[in-house]
Amino acid sequence: MRGSGKLAAGVLAGVLLTGASAGTAAAAGDPVRAAVGDLVAEGGFPGAVAFVRNGEAVSRFGAGYANPATREAAGPHHRFRIASNTKAFVATVVLQLAGEGALSLDDSIERRLPGVVRGPGYEPGKITLRMLLNHTSGVHDPLDPHFFDPYLVRGNRAYVYPPSEVIRRSLIDPPSFAPGTETDYSNTGYLLLGKVIEKVTHNDVREEIQRRILDPLGLGRTSFPLRSPFLRGPHLHGYDLSGQDMTVFSPSYDWTAGAMVSTVDDLATFHRALLAGHLLEPAQQAELERLVPSGEFGAYGAGVETLNLPCPGGPKTVWGNTGAGPGFYSVSMSTEDGSKQIVLALNVYDLAKDVAHENPLPRSSLPAVAAALC
């Protein structure tokens, strides 16, 4: 499940300065727009859409094409697969349930899902919900390099992986480490959290997200497809590095780890509300922001992450999420004080390269993030 992904922050940050271009006249007037334009003009992305906020001043714009075949211009109204940005929605529901007393983050996965986590070396009684939220559980993703063969080799983009099957295949191999001893990004951990939400609420996790987050915030262009491989309404087309259209792709394997679809505006509204403390009580907000290091370039909270963004005046810590999956890469980040924010969606991500542990992106997006947030 590497493809629902996470590109290492160090890899991204390491190319920040070399990826920037200052050669356009637009850079002087709007460096963010110029940096996004460079990602399309020189960076190898067919299209990009962005939401940028500085205080209460907001700009929305697109560059390049949503669909190069039809030459449809990319715009901020276009939907895209948000991939691992989904995790912040799921974590919010888990934290709200904790605030309501329906569960505790100290609960073990064995207590909440008895008999589900079984495999060589696993100790489900020692894996807590908090560990699943912050990627310290030791539960890894499927290690079989052929996991994505139904999609990438056999070409069945509508192939359905039920979450329970993804979890089963993840547990065939021993855990990455003993619970709570290290940090390693785990999509499977968020599939388990989705199962916990449904077990506790006796309701579809998508309905819980709709009722608790989407409806109150008015996020009418955000959805959570379960099996359909198609994107509905105006949307970006996503591509691999060879230019193959990857837009049609079943979200089933990603479920609560990364299946949601949104727009830059909706995602910006959600993250602004979440990071400002409007969706959680103070105790749960503290849990959201309780960090565990994930390397020198950042840390994980409960469904969110930080990045130590290289800036001219020194590193600046920014908060939010990134999301990567077949054909799509997105960044949704805000400064610590919430005064600046960017949501950027790009339409290239090469899943096959990711599976092969090769760079799945044509260029780093961090020059644009730095231009917005530094």
Average pLDDT for consecutive 10-residue bins of the chain (374 residues)?
44 35 48 97 95 97 98 98 98 98 98 98 98 98 96 97 98 98 97 98 98 98 97 97 98 98 98 98 98 91 96 94 98 97 98 96 96 97
CB 261 within 8 A of CB 222: yes
CB 346 within 8 A of CB 322: no
Q: What is the pLDDT of residue 66?
A: 98
Structure tokens at 355: 């599976």
3-state secondary structure at position 196: helix
Could you write out the DSSP letters of every residue in 246-298? --S---TTTHHHH--EE-HHHHHHHHHHHHTTSSS-HHHHHHHT--EE-STTE
Pairing of strands 57-67, 47-54: antiparallel
Q: How far apart are alpha carbons 113 and 322 in whole angstroms?
A: 28
Beta-carbon count within 10 A of 226 CB: 14
Q: How far apart are alpha carbons 27 and 22 in whole angstroms?
A: 6
Place of tokens 């691992």: 84
Q: How far apart are alpha carbons 266 and 41 in whole angstroms?
A: 26
Element (H, E) at 299: strand 298-300
**203 Cβ contact partners less than 8 Å away, ≥ 6 residues apart:** none
The pTM of this model reads: 0.94
Partners of 343 in the β-ladder: 51, 332
Give just the sign of the alpha carbon dihedral 82, 83, 85, 87. Answer: positive
- What radius of gyration, in Å, describes the C-alpha atoms of the chain? 19
Q: What is the pLDDT of residue 295?
A: 82
Q: How far apart are alpha carbons 156 and 363 in whole angstroms?
A: 28
